Amino acid sequence: MSYDKVLQANKYVVGTKQTVKALKKGNITEILVAKDADPFHIGKVTEAAKQVNVPIILVDSMMKLGKSCGIEVGAAAVAIIN
């Protein structure tokens, strides 16, 4: 499952704002985006990812994505760093 990628990653950032910032720095290998997240916020992430050709992986749940990152709240996006 895609959630395992977060558990296996050495370094990642959580949240839409942090993901967009990391994309601008250019050191992201892939992004996980929750399907149940607000389309307005996810739109910013997906647009930034497309501009720098970073693959986007869709996952089902914000809560599951947040828990895989070790936080108790949902996460709309997680960026895996090189």
The CA-CA-CA angle for residues 28, 62, 44, to 5°, reads 50
Backbone angles phi, psi at 81, to 5 degrees: -95, 145
Q: Tell me: pLDDT of 1 over 70.
A: no
Cα–Cα distance measured from residue 2 to residue 30, given in angstroms and rounded to the nearest whole number: 11
Structural domains of the chain, with CATH: 3-81 (3.30.1330.30)
Decide: 79 and 55 in contact? Cβ < 8 Å.
Answer: no
Express each pLDDT in 18-58 by its tens digit.
Answer: 999 999 998 899 999 999 999 998 999 999 999 999 999 99
Q: Tell me: pLDDT of 82 over 60.
A: yes
Instruction: Give the mean pLDDT of the chain.
Output: 91
Predicted TM-score (pTM) of this structure: 0.89
The CA-CA-CA angle for residues 76, 48, 11, to 5°, reads 60
Q: Is the model more confident about 1 or about 56?
A: 56
Q: What's the DSSP call for residue 22?
A: H
